[in-house]
Amino acid sequence: MKLTHLAALKAIILATALPLTAQASSMWHPAPTEEGFTYHPDHFQSTKTRAQVMAEVEAARKDGTLAILQRGAPLPIKSSEAPKTRQQVLDEMRSESPEARRARLEMYSGG
């Protein structure tokens, strides 16, 4: 009887301690503050080497994304289709249906 109580007690202790060990390896820890968390950058575990990170930075510098990110601007979305000419866009706007025009104007005017 005592052995089962001891095994149950060990299981309860283990079950309550496991979430704490998972949080110890995270950069973010829950805290009883207004923010609700604390930040610990020294707990970050990188899977990349310094050389890999430096190569990524150099590639971003060459293609211009590093300058965009340093300004705090969002990265432009790269389209998978060929770009349209000015004339193609104008032709599409002239030939759109009244419903499509109304929807486009509502979208750009905010309602």
**Chain centroid to CA 82: how far?**
28
pTM above 0.75, yes or no: no
pLDDT band at residue 78 using 50, 70 and 90 as cut-offs: confident
The residue among 50, 42, 10, 47 whose CA lies nearest residue 24 is: 42
Summarize the confidence of residues 68-80 as an average pLDDT.
89
pLDDT tens for 29-47 read 888 888 788 878 777 778 8
What per-residue confidence (pLDDT) applies to 1? 53
Domain residue extents for the chain:
1-45
pLDDT tens for 48-64 read 999 999 999 999 999 99
